[in-house]
Amino acid sequence: MNLPNFLSISRIFLLIPIIFLFEYGFYFFSLIIFVVASLTDYFDGYFARKMNLSTNLGALLDLVSDKLFVSILLIWATYSFESFLIFLSALIIISRELTIGYLRMYLLQNGYSQDSLSPNFMGKFKTTFQMIGLGLLIVSPLNASLALLAIYIIFLSSVFSLLSLFSYLIKWIGYPK
């Protein structure tokens, strides 16, 4: 297993200490591991390009790790914080992720190039807001104002998720194979 693939897979396993530390009141340590896990998303791609280790398997592992990481944290947050906005955001974000994932697979199987299906700016913007919101949510028990801010940022990321979905659909409908 190469370094980029290890980093992608580690993102999934780092969910365990993130949630465990949070549940036992170690919010700051949970946040540190969350930040490390979030950074693996950048570094897996960086090292894959830098070390010329980019593969289809690596791209798939990165994609699956990203989706699992965010989805599991959103489902956990829905139950931990009992917020309707988190619940609604989780539904929107997870539905968007499943839709985009299956559309990408369908389009790849029907002759579309990998380049035509690459992430766009809106998708990266959405991910940034998700990570900021989830990170703030992890330390929110330390400050009630952080909880509210985190919930609004996560909800805003769900709006960006919808915009990103529509952006992809518009792009892919008119995109030649």
Q: What is the pLDDT of residue 141?
A: 94
Report long-range pairs for 167-175 (Cβ below 8 Å, ≥24 apart): 167/120, 167/122, 167/123, 168/100, 168/103, 168/120, 168/123, 169/103, 171/120, 172/103, 172/107, 172/112, 172/116, 172/117, 175/112, 175/116
What one-letter code names the amino acid at 63? L
Does this model's pTM top 0.75? yes
Q: What is the pLDDT of residue 117?
A: 64
Residue with tokens 């990103």: 164
Q: What is the pLDDT of residue 175?
A: 64
Low-confidence residues of the chain: pLDDT under 50: none
Residue with tokens 């998720």: 161
Q: What is the chain's mean pLDDT, rounded? A: 90
Q: What is the pLDDT of residue 63?
A: 85
Q: What is the pLDDT of residue 167?
A: 86
**How far is residue 83 from each of residues 77, 86, 112, 164, measured CA to CA in Å?**
9, 5, 40, 24
Which homologous superfamily does the CATH classification assign to the domain defined by 3-173? CDP-alcohol phosphotransferase transmembrane (TM) domain (1.20.120.1760)
